[in-house]
A and B are shown apart, each in its own frame.
Chain A
Amino acid sequence: MHRRRHSSAHARRTCRTAVALTAAAVLAAAVLTGCAGDGDDGRTTLSVGTFGVFGFRQAGLYAEYERLHPDVRITESVIERNDTYYPQFLTHLVTGGGLADIQAVEVGDIHDLARDLGGRLTDLSRAPGVRAGTWLPWKWAQATAPDGRTVGLGTDIGPIAVCYRKDLFRRAGLPTERGAVGRLWAGDWHKYLAVGRAYRDRAPAGTVFTDSAAGIYNAAIHGYPERYYDRAGRPLYTGGPAVRTAWDLAVRAARDGLTARLKQFEKPWDQAYANGRFATVACPPWMLGYIKEKAGDAGRGRWDVAAAPRPASWGGSFLTVPRAARHRAAAVALAAWLTAPEQQARLFERQASFPSTPASYAMPQLRGARNAYFGGAPVAEIFAEAARRAPTLVTGPREQLIGTAFTDVGIAQVEQQGRAPEAAWAAAQQEIENAVDE
């Protein structure tokens, strides 16, 4: 008994200590959450989920919005690659948890998202201050579901130019002035390949004409309005004219040894920029910032921008607001503000993201804008011209998958593994069949 009483006394002491500790912990937790909490100081915390670099933070847009709206604080969570970001976003959207108040969506996904899960996103066409006419008509249409709800507000678009190395062109005996370079291949990507062959025959040691066959494929196919589907929604990916032409160009470039056999957005691609391994790359506006970062000071004054053979638009994104967002109304207001012409113009100035709102084109940040890194090229003028002439793309189901089946399987097999084009085409078709089959 004695032992027992002793132990119970001990237990009581332990218990008292535990209570004290718990109280301390609860107190500490209360203090901590009080500091970090939403609404402790009456401010609403809006979260923005994006992939890659949208540049809202870098351009100071969040800071300014917080200044204009002292009751709002903005946090951003970024996943580098869309192919990691999007499945996660879908899962969150389907389960209704873990969502940011604003979620970015890439153009290749917006069609399926609006059609299949549009009901879980806010209809932004009814949002205060949002007018359809602010955006390029096709950009607005891309995020509009068949039932007429518009679930995404356009951010940037991707009109295509060609970035090229003046120093390498000079050493290969090609013109270096951007107007003359653009005229070399104006109107036809086949001319671009012809320039490539001329370059190859006199190429400075250790360099090739362009980075990847996939880059040529993407630049070429996005110049056609009907790529993987026609206007009636019938599939064209089994061999429509756009797919065929882009495929043949890419395969030709690979087989002629015009490419550095690199995969875009991978480490070796970055290293090749730094080492000056290739002379040209198909260049949407967002690529300018990428080149500047990867080629660094060594590339300053060596790069320039010329018009692409055919106008095309590759890439671009949207901002959506899930219906399950915690602060829906505030999120809609922020999304509308971030995509308004003034802010898109500022994003262009900082990040070279090209506005999807025509009113931006006349703003001081774009009018006569020149890019010092790219030899003072009038980039806004070049891209605005490409955007004006770019076709309105017809979008359809599973485009992202279909595109990567061509670039990452078919073309990669020819370019990286040396397979015969016919076998690679069949492999790409089998890939698509397996992916879209239900």
Chain B
Amino acid sequence: MTAAPTTTACPPGAADPGRRERPGAEDRRAARRSRRYRWDVRYSPYAFVAPFFLFFAAFGIFPLLWTGWASLHRMELTEPGRERWTGLHNYVRLLDDAFFWNALGNTAVIGVLSTVPQLLTALGLAHLLHHRLRAAVFWRVALLAPYATSTAAATLVFVLLYGRDYGMVNWALGLAGLAPVDWQNGTWAARVAVSSIVVWRWTGYNALIYLAAMQAVPDELYESAALDGASRLRQFRHVTVPALRPTILFTVVVSTIGATQLFGEPLLFGGAGGQKGGASHQFQTLGLYLYEQGWYDFHLGRAAAVAWAMFLILLVVAGAGGLVARRLRGDG
């Protein structure tokens, strides 16, 4: 296929037999220039996007494939160069690995606990910000501030807040006459605590995305709804939300990917030995299990299998999301 454009790209003069005996230097230069020009137009775009794809190949595709290769071997961090082919053993083992299923369940639970409140709150906040407020810029910047802090710093502060003996949350509960909660050791308490860190960090970010989408909704729609006597709430439900559908879908997909990869928050929330996600692994996510298997137990092959399992799960989730999106679009 590449041959065809090249032949048609030949400058007309060069192919003309009548001018062959006097191929003027001027003509040749013009021909070259025009050829270069055409190549420029044709191939420059590829050159411009190439850096991304080169990096993607080096840091995306290659690790993916290499991890796949590793997952089919017995590979130990302590025994470099002594990999042994084991076929699907690492995957079969996962099927009946209670720690893996526990981590998968935790990932799903913490994912729901963090994504649902996060997106609902973000939608509400965006709705509030959409109307004229005093110091609108201040509120918008304030919303984005959590997103701008590092995961590590935020989580370490939350660990202090959620401390069992000297934490501020339990102190506040005490003021309200409630019993203190062991945020790290309680099964649900720990999951809620980890989710709250995610919610805190990402709500403002999603709110700003929603806000941007809301500002693109034509004012006429609101005006006519108001003329029909729709309240603010009804306007929100029947004008704003339908108009925001694609945006909401986008944030759901992005949050789901983030939830599947949840790692830093539970790791640091667990403190020393955080990779276990608590004494009963009550908040060990798939990311933490992968880390524990690879970098504490030194089973790189098994960790690679966990990574690939995560990847396949994400593909399934993305496929389901795509189906839902198609249905939504059909309805709309």
- When C-beta atoms are compared, the residue in chain A nearest to B292 turns out to be A435
A300 within 8 A of B: no
Question: Do residues A408 and B79 form an inter-chain contact, with CB atoms below 8 A?
Answer: no
Question: Do residues B164 and A412 form an inter-chain contact, with CB atoms below 8 A?
Answer: no
Instruction: Name 16 A/B residue pairs within 8 A (Cβ), A-sorted.
Output: A81-B272, A83-B272, A87-B296, A113-B78, A261-B164, A264-B272, A267-B159, A267-B163, A268-B163, A268-B166, A271-B165, A272-B165, A275-B166, A277-B165, A434-B99, A438-B76
Q: Smallest CB–CB gap between B85 and chain A, Å? A: 14
Q: Chain B contacts of A408 at CB under 8 A?
A: 273, 276, 279
Question: Do residues B78 and A263 form an inter-chain contact, with CB atoms below 8 A?
Answer: no
- B140-177: CB near A (< 8 Å → 1, else 0) gives 00000000000000000001100111100000000000
Question: Do residues A427 and B280 form an inter-chain contact, with CB atoms below 8 A?
Answer: yes
B185 within 8 A of A: yes
Cα distance A142–B256 in the bound complex, in angstroms = 48
Q: Which of A388-438 contact B (CB under 8 A)?
A: 401, 404, 408-409, 412-413, 416-417, 419, 427, 430, 434-435, 438
Question: Do residues B271 and A417 form an inter-chain contact, with CB atoms below 8 A?
Answer: no
Q: Smallest CB–CB gap between B145 and chain A, Å? A: 24
Question: Do residues B279 and A413 form an inter-chain contact, with CB atoms below 8 A?
Answer: yes
Interface residues of B (CB under 8 A from A): 74, 76-80, 97-99, 159-160, 163-166, 182, 184-185, 271-273, 276, 279-280, 295-299
A36 within 8 A of B: no
Q: Smallest CB–CB gap between A260 and chain B, Å? A: 8
Q: Smallest CB–CB gap between A79 and chain B, Å? A: 13
- When C-beta atoms are compared, the residue in chain B nearest to A115 turns out to be B78
Q: Chain B contacts of A419 at CB under 8 A?
A: 280
Q: Chain B contacts of A40 at CB under 8 A?
A: none
Cα distance A148–B287 in the bound complex, in angstroms = 40
Question: Do residues A87 and B280 form an inter-chain contact, with CB atoms below 8 A?
Answer: no
- A238-276: CB near B (< 8 Å → 1, else 0) gives 000000000000000000000001011111100110010
- When C-beta atoms are compared, the residue in chain A nearest to B182 turns out to be A416
Question: Do residues A94 and B80 form an inter-chain contact, with CB atoms below 8 A?
Answer: yes
Question: Do residues A404 and B273 form an inter-chain contact, with CB atoms below 8 A?
Answer: yes
Cα distance A264–B182 in the bound complex, in angstroms = 17
Q: Which of A305-329 contact B (CB under 8 A)?
A: none
Across chains A and B, which 4 residue pairs bring their CB atoms closest together, nearest first? A412-B279, A87-B295, A116-B78, A94-B80
Taking A268-B164, A412-B185, A417-B280 as given, write out 17 further A-B residue pairs in contact, using a Cβ cutoff of 8 Å, ordered by the A residue number. A83-B296, A87-B295, A87-B298, A90-B77, A94-B80, A263-B271, A263-B272, A266-B271, A266-B272, A267-B163, A267-B271, A271-B165, A271-B166, A277-B165, A401-B296, A417-B279, A435-B297
Q: Chain B contacts of A87 at CB under 8 A?
A: 77, 295-296, 298
A117 within 8 A of B: yes
A112 within 8 A of B: yes
Cα distance A135–B242 in the bound complex, in angstroms = 76
Q: Smallest CB–CB gap between B296 and chain A, Å? A: 7
Cα distance A17–B182 in the bound complex, in angstroms = 64
Cα distance A268–B165 in the bound complex, in angstroms = 7
A75 within 8 A of B: no
Q: Smallest CB–CB gap between A425 and chain B, Å? A: 13
Q: Chain A contacts of B276 at CB under 8 A?
A: 408-409
- When C-beta atoms are compared, the residue in chain A nearest to B98 turns out to be A430
A91 within 8 A of B: yes
Question: Do residues B271 and A90 form an inter-chain contact, with CB atoms below 8 A?
Answer: no
- A87-114: CB near B (< 8 Å → 1, else 0) gives 1001100100000000000000000110
Q: Chain B contacts of A272 at CB under 8 A?
A: 165
Question: Do residues B165 and A112 form an inter-chain contact, with CB atoms below 8 A?
Answer: no
Q: Smallest CB–CB gap between B162 and chain A, Å? A: 11
Question: Do residues A265 and B279 form an inter-chain contact, with CB atoms below 8 A?
Answer: no
Q: Chain B contacts of A277 at CB under 8 A?
A: 165
Cα distance A56–B257 in the bound complex, in angstroms = 46
- When C-beta atoms are compared, the residue in chain A nearest to B93 turns out to be A437
Question: Do residues B298 and A90 form an inter-chain contact, with CB atoms below 8 A?
Answer: yes
Q: Chain B contacts of A112 at CB under 8 A?
A: 78
Question: Do residues B299 and A438 form an inter-chain contact, with CB atoms below 8 A?
Answer: yes
- Known contacts A408-B279, A430-B98: A90-B78 contact under CB 8 Å: yes
Question: Do residues B273 and A83 form an inter-chain contact, with CB atoms below 8 A?
Answer: yes
Pick from B78, B159, B295, B297 the residue with the most CB of A within 10 Å: B78
Cα distance A404–B272 in the bound complex, in angstroms = 11
Cα distance A91–B98 in the bound complex, in angstroms = 28
Q: Of B77, B273, B296, which is within 8 A of A94 by CB?
A: B77
- When C-beta atoms are compared, the residue in chain B nearest to A400 turns out to be B296
Question: Do residues A438 and B78 form an inter-chain contact, with CB atoms below 8 A?
Answer: no
Q: Smallest CB–CB gap between B216 and chain A, Å? A: 39
Q: Chain A contacts of B80 at CB under 8 A?
A: 94
- When C-beta atoms are compared, the residue in chain B nearest to A274 turns out to be B166
- When C-beta atoms are compared, the residue in chain A nearest to B184 turns out to be A416
Question: Do residues A416 and B166 form an inter-chain contact, with CB atoms below 8 A?
Answer: no
Cα distance A416–B184 in the bound complex, in angstroms = 9
Question: Do residues A116 and B159 form an inter-chain contact, with CB atoms below 8 A?
Answer: no
Pick from A90, A91, A434 the residue with the most CB of B within 10 Å: A434
Question: Do residues B298 and A417 form an inter-chain contact, with CB atoms below 8 A?
Answer: no
- When C-beta atoms are compared, the residue in chain B nearest to A91 turns out to be B77
Q: Chain A contacts of B77 at CB under 8 A?
A: 87, 90-91, 94
Q: Of A83, A404, A409, A438, which is within 8 A of B74 by CB?
A: A438
Q: Of A91, A268, A409, which is within 8 A of B279 by CB?
A: A409
- When C-beta atoms are compared, the residue in chain A nearest to B79 turns out to be A116
Q: Of A90, A94, A261, A413, which is within 8 A of B280 by CB?
A: A413
Cα distance A417–B279 in the bound complex, in angstroms = 8
Q: Chain A contacts of B165 at CB under 8 A?
A: 268, 271-272, 277
Q: Chain B contacts of A116 at CB under 8 A?
A: 78-79
Q: Chain B contacts of A401 at CB under 8 A?
A: 296-297
Q: Chain A contacts of B298 at CB under 8 A?
A: 87, 90
Cα distance A282–B271 in the bound complex, in angstroms = 21
Question: Do residues A434 and B296 form an inter-chain contact, with CB atoms below 8 A?
Answer: no
Q: Of B98, B185, B272, B297, which is within 8 A of A416 by CB?
A: B185
Cα distance A117–B297 in the bound complex, in angstroms = 16
- When C-beta atoms are compared, the residue in chain A nearest to B166 turns out to be A271
Cα distance A223–B296 in the bound complex, in angstroms = 26
Q: Smallest CB–CB gap between B115 and chain A, Å? A: 27
Q: Smallest CB–CB gap between A396 and chain B, Å? A: 14
Q: Chain A contacts of B185 at CB under 8 A?
A: 412, 416-417
Q: Chain B contacts of A90 at CB under 8 A?
A: 77-78, 298
Cα distance A362–B295 in the bound complex, in angstroms = 42
Q: Chain B contacts of A268 at CB under 8 A?
A: 163-166
Cα distance A350–B70 in the bound complex, in angstroms = 47
Q: Chain A contacts of B99 at CB under 8 A?
A: 434
Q: Chain B contacts of A94 at CB under 8 A?
A: 77, 80
Cα distance A177–B276 in the bound complex, in angstroms = 42
Q: Chain A contacts of B279 at CB under 8 A?
A: 408-409, 412-413, 416-417
Q: Chain A contacts of B280 at CB under 8 A?
A: 409, 413, 417, 419, 427
Cα distance A79–B185 in the bound complex, in angstroms = 27
